[in-house]
Amino acid sequence: MPELDGKVAIVTGAGRLRGIGRAAAVKLAEMGADVVVTGTGRKPESYPPDEKAAGWKDIESTAEQVRAKGRRALPVVVDITDRAAVQKMMGQVVKEFGRVDILVNNAAFARGEDRLPLLKVDPAVFQRVVDIKITGTFLMTQAFVGALKNPKGARIVNISSTAGKAGSPNTLAYNAGNFALVGMTQSLARELGPQGINVNCVCPGAVETARMDVLSRKDMDAIAAGSALRRNGTDEEIAELIGFLCSEASSWITGQSININGGTVMEH
């Protein structure tokens, strides 16, 4: 039997064709889990060219990939910054599957409007970055833990960034959100560990996903050239680490924020 057979995972921000959320959902399905995939309900006209060409249907297409692995899938449009919406979604998950076991907090504000010098950052944009990354993770985690019928063996994986380990100019909101997520991971690990719940954080560097499309190919290649391994990562590579942290092999790992970035940032 696959290791996660009979377990139910929730992955937020899982609607993009080239994205960590989609790859994580598919990886967990390969490991045997049924998967709930959430998204914001993007309008088709906003999809990047490759998604339009592929006939991509956001979280429904991710759900189809999960089903193709022989697992059940539930796509849900939800605003994770809305407590009532999150609680309603969690109730729907428990009603559909009878349980929850794994939570991957992957959702994040789209890169772009937040990457400006301090004096040009719109306070509303700053707040939205923080709301999604911090408040969204808090609300999802609170609802998830409250829904656990058997906490022992449950897993929470937060997706931060190398921006949660090292600051950089014109990245204030993103640094704030991701540094906070590293601290939240440590706090949750201390609090929930006695119940048998492992909480860890993944800190990717530059990954070849749709989120990075705001950068030119030249910029992405420059980032790769500055890494120890001289390349950027893939969503599947991040998903492999997420899968490991949801497996029994990681049972004695908790409270950690693990870099996976080809060596661009090596701070602990």
CATH number at residue 107: 3.40.50.720
Q: What is the pLDDT of residue 211?
A: 87
CB 24 within 8 A of CB 106: yes
Q: What is the pLDDT of residue 228?
A: 95
Instruction: Report the chain (268 residues): mean pLDDT per 10 consecutive residues.
Output: 96 97 98 98 94 97 98 98 98 98 96 92 96 98 97 98 95 96 98 98 95 90 95 97 98 98 86
Q: What is the pLDDT of residue 111?
A: 85
Distance from C-alpha of 123 to C-alpha of 245, rounded to nearest angstrom: 35
Q: What is the pLDDT of residue 82?
A: 98
Distance from C-alpha of 82 to C-alpha of 61, rounded to nearest angstrom: 24
* Domain extent for 43: 8-260
Residue 135 lies in a domain: yes
Q: What is the pLDDT of residue 112?
A: 86
Residue 268 lies in a domain: no
Which two tokens mark 54?
């592929």
Q: How many domains does the chain have?
A: 1
Residue 267 lies in a domain: no
Residue 1 lies in a domain: no
Residue for token digits 């297409």?
Answer: 61
Residue 24 lies in a domain: yes
**227: exposed, middle or buried (C-beta count within 10 Å: 0-12, 13-18, 19+)?**
middle
Q: Coil, strand, or helix at residue 224?
A: helix
Q: Coil, strand, or helix at residue 73?
A: strand
Looking at the annotation, which residues are catalytic? 174
Residue 266 lies in a domain: no
Phi, then psi, of 21 in degrees rounded to 5: -60, -45
β-pairing, 73-77 with 34-39? parallel
Q: How far is CA 109 from CA 14, 126, 141, 263, in A?
A: 13, 10, 18, 25
